[in-house]
Amino acid sequence: MSPVLAGVLQLLALLVALGLSYRPLGDHMARVYSSEKHLRVEKWIYKGIGANPSVQMRWPAYLRGVLGFSAVSVLFLYLLQRVQGSLPGSLGFVSIDPDQAFNTAASFVANTNWQSYYGEQAMGHVVQTGGLAVQNFLSAAVGMAVAVALVRGFARSRTGELGNFWSDLVRGTFRVLLPISVIGALVLVACGAIQNFSGIHEVGQFMGGTQQWNGGAVASQEVIKELGTNGGGYFNANSSHPFENPSGLSNLFEIYLILVIPFALTRTFGRMVGSLKQGYAILGTMATIWLGFTALMMWTEFAHHGPAFDIAGGAMEGKETRFGIGGSSIFAVATTLTSTGAVNSFHSSYTGFGGGITMLGMQLGEIAPGGVGSGLYGMLIMAVIAVFVAGLMVGRTPEYLGRKIGTREITFAACYILITPALVLGFTAVAMALDTPADSMTNSGAHGFSEILYAYTSGANNNGSAFAGLNADTQWFNSTIGIAMLLGRFLPMVFVLALAGSLAEQTPVPQTAGTLRTEKPLFTGLLVGTILIITGLTYFPALALGPLAEGLAA
């Protein structure tokens, strides 16, 4: 079988699996977030934390819950790393340095999972399972809660109430993420992923000598890292490591885990606002961009340029032979169009245009389908902007789902889309202007610039993948990328919840002959165009200095 055909068949199998999961999972999540009943274990948790799950919150109270819970999570994870050397199950590893502990705590709480350390050489079992894996669940549940709050803003009227953050957080964890993770971990173990708490082993190498390897609860962490679009690997090689991702089958399953909840949330959205067609319109936008990026990536990586490419069947540098170009390309697009950041190949070794595609996927805002929760609310913000632009074109007050998009609403939406580019471009410019950050670059010229741009793009967009070629374990990068991750995660949430509160306070306006039909393919095309134009105008100058210059030079 040719490598191209194998890649196409993998993509088709993935589409079938996602299609079969879309309706049941989307409907299940709609029931979870709409139910008034609480499970017994959930009642115990509410009692333990002193929360009343029946109290409805307006957006300032909901935001305080998000920020307060996340701040405590950062502090707990930071302290856990700082005392690692005194904990049982540390495998003899010392405590993490302050700057790296801050970076890691910010990373996992912000659903970024950027890692400037070697997992198997730095983190013991307690930190991996009691700290990092727990945050993989909680940070994902926070993103889902904020998305559901925005959906309620469209669904409710004359109230301003967005639900209860603590209830949404607990339900997302125990009714959605945990059950799928248990089943998924068993699948990964069956595929060959390891799951144990063994110590460090010394193993022989094929060419002589020995190497040290430690075990760990890898399968259970791997499944939530993908399902929650987190991305942090148990080992430094991440999802290219055979202990995490043993085969082509496990690779396809992990891609499925990355995409299944973000896509299914569009049906949840349709159910909760009372119009499945609206959910299909958002799904169509996400799917169009995702399939387009996947096709472009496979084309540029399969393109033959010289004898080495002809023999390998494409650009195999930096890719695992058990995945091939097709499996690596699909994984790379899935992980950079979501906020996952897991990698099964070396993005820095992709062709110039291939590296640019991974970078552009993050710069879109990771909305196709995006992270768990963050993809949906990011796409809905873009929908608000698209409706506003359409209203300006015809001289009519813009409306979306029966809500007027006025000055207040468009201000919140504009602030949302400006935050991340300001962080990415600002930190990149400062890093390139200073001497010390530039010393961390393995390469010079366009590729070296791409390494810096990719790092801050990944951090501020809460992706977490790396171009791999940049030494990010320095005080400068640990601190600045940590700040970018926290601001890139929580500042947008401020404007999302403020917009949700504003929408929920409105009285719905009736649909008229002049109302833009946002469930039609025409709107899907408008939304795709709006996303690409906004991203292009924002990032094209920077991309022209990096991946585009490198690709044209090749």
Residue pair 410/482 in contact (Cβ under 8 Å)? The answer is: no
Phi and psi torsions of 441, nearest 5°: -75, 130
Coil vs helix vs strand at 37 = coil
- CB count, 10 Å around CB of 477? 26
Alpha helices in 123-217 (DSSP H): 125-126, 134-155, 165-171, 178-191
Phi and psi torsions of 345, nearest 5°: -155, 175
Residue pair 149/376 in contact (Cβ under 8 Å)? The answer is: no
Residue-by-residue DSSP string for 509-520: PPP-TTS--TTS
Mind listing the pLDDT tens digit of every residue in the chain (554 residues)? 788 888 899 999 999 999 999 999 999 999 999 999 999 999 999 999 999 999 999 999 999 999 999 999 999 999 999 999 898 888 888 999 999 999 999 999 999 988 888 778 888 889 999 999 999 999 999 999 999 999 999 999 999 999 999 999 999 999 999 999 999 999 999 999 999 988 777 777 777 777 777 888 999 999 999 999 998 888 888 899 999 999 999 999 999 999 999 999 999 999 999 999 999 999 999 999 999 999 999 998 887 565 656 666 667 778 888 998 889 999 999 999 998 989 998 887 888 888 889 989 999 988 999 999 999 999 999 999 999 998 888 777 789 999 999 999 999 999 999 999 999 999 999 988 887 776 777 777 888 888 889 889 999 999 988 777 778 788 888 899 999 999 999 999 999 999 999 999 999 888 877 788 899 999 999 999 999 999 888 998 888 887 888 777 76
Phi and psi torsions of 463, nearest 5°: -90, -65
Give me the amino acid identity at 536. Answer: G
